[in-house]
């Protein structure tokens, strides 16, 4: 069984995502098989694994964007396969996503990007849509003058923040972040991590975060799950993963880069 997150006791652990015996593949290739995963309400789960192991594919499979060959995926206790189209939309309104690729639509301003999910799922006046978008812009620490800028006019860090604002557009309970700090310098990445931790605390978010960033894993994640060989190799607190004797986990958490972080956990 996975470890409990730091800030909750075993009795109040509600499973918001439950994946069982999942198999996903493309053509001849099987990417994952027999994969089980639980995500608990209110936790920040860090999801790690070597490049190409299927972290993004798993994320997309949970979101229903990649077909599965076998297994069940339950979100908020609902088997996603068993839902009607309207029930499905109701579940989709309760999660937000920051994709690894194509974080923003390049032809739309920041404000318009944030309003895309709002327009899809809510029917509100354009004045209210503008007010809501400005609120999200402020929430992620962007200046209000970023609202009318296009992605090409923004720095990498600002793009990530704007994409996070879009992920938060519908006040979701779960946010999926696929490598949100990749491409940012260490200070920008650290600031983004702090923002995630603050939003998680103030909004009570559940965060599913794919990351390669050891600093993030140490500073903001309650629990970590590692993907490899098509399954979850290990999950639990950072201490649990550090104690694993799996060769990839040992190399990852005890390598040169890891030792530098562990020596100075901040």
Ligand X SMILES: Nc1ncnc2c1ncn2[C@@H]1O[C@H](COP(=O)(O)OP(=O)(O)O)[C@@H](O)[C@H]1O
Question: Under the rule (CB under 6 A), what is the footprint of ligand X?
Answer: 26, 31, 49, 51-57
DSSP state of 183: T
Q: At its nearest, how many Å lie between ligand X and the CB of residue 23?
A: 13
Six token digits for residue 88: 């499905």
Judged by beta carbon, residue 10 or residue 27, the one nearer ligand X is 27
51's contact among Mg ion, ligand X, none, with CB below 5 to 8 A by partner kind, is: ligand X
d(CA 223, CA 232): 13
Q: Residue 32 or residue 110: which is nearer to ligand X going by CB?
A: 32
SS3 label, residue 47: strand
**For Mg ion, which residue of 4, 53, 56, 115 counts as binding (CB under 5 A)?**
56
Strands 206-210 and 44-49: parallel
**Distance in Å, CB of 208 to ligand X, minimum:** 13
| Least spacing, CB of residue 184 vs Mg ion, in Å | 16
CB of 46 to ligand X, least distance (A): 14
3-state secondary structure of 105: coil
Which residue lies nearer to ligand X by CB, 55 or 223? 55
Strand order in the sheet with 44-49: 95-98, 174-178, 206-210, 44-49, 223-228, 231-236
For 45, the token pair is 């789960």
Distance CA 164, CA 38 (A): 23
Residue 182 site contact among ligand X, Mg ion, none (CB < 5 to 8 Å, cut-off depends on kind): none
Least distance CB 209 / ligand X (angstroms): 13
**Interface residues toward Mg ion, by CB under 5 A:** 55-56, 100
């Amino acid at each position: 069984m996975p470890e409990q997150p730091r800030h909750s006791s075993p009795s109040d652990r509600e499973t918001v995502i439950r994946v069982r015996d999942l198999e996903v593949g493309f053509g001849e290739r099987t990417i994952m098989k027999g994969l089980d995963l639980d995500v608990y309400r209110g936790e920040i789960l860090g999801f790690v694994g070597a490049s190409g192991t299927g972290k993004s594919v798993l994320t997309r499979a949970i979101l229903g964007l990649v077909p599965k060959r076998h297994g069940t995926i339950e979100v908020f206790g609902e088997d996603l396969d068993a839902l009607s189209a309207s029930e499905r939309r109701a579940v989709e309104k309760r999660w937000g996503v920051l994709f690894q690729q194509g974080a923003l639509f390049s032809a739309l301003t920041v404000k318009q990007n944030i309003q895309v999910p709002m327009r899809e799922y809510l029917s509100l006046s354009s004045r209210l849509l503008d007010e809501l978008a400005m609120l999200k812009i402020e929430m992620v620490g962007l200046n209000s003058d970023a609202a009318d800028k296009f992605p090409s006019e923004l720095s990498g860090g600002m793009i990530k923040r704007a994409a996070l604002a879009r992920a938060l557009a519908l006040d979701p309970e779960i946010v999926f972040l696929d490598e949100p700090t990749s491409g940012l310098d260490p200070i920008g990445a650290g600031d983004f991590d702090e923002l995630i931790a603050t939003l998680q605390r103030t909004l009570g978010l559940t965060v599913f975060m794919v990351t390669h960033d050891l600093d993030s894993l140490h500073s903001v994640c309650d629990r970590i799950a590692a993907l490899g060989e098509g399954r979850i190799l290990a999950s639990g607190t950072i201490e649990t993963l550090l104690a694993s004797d799996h060769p990839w986990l040992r190399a990852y958490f005890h390598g040169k880069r890891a030792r530098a972080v562990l020596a100075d956990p901040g």
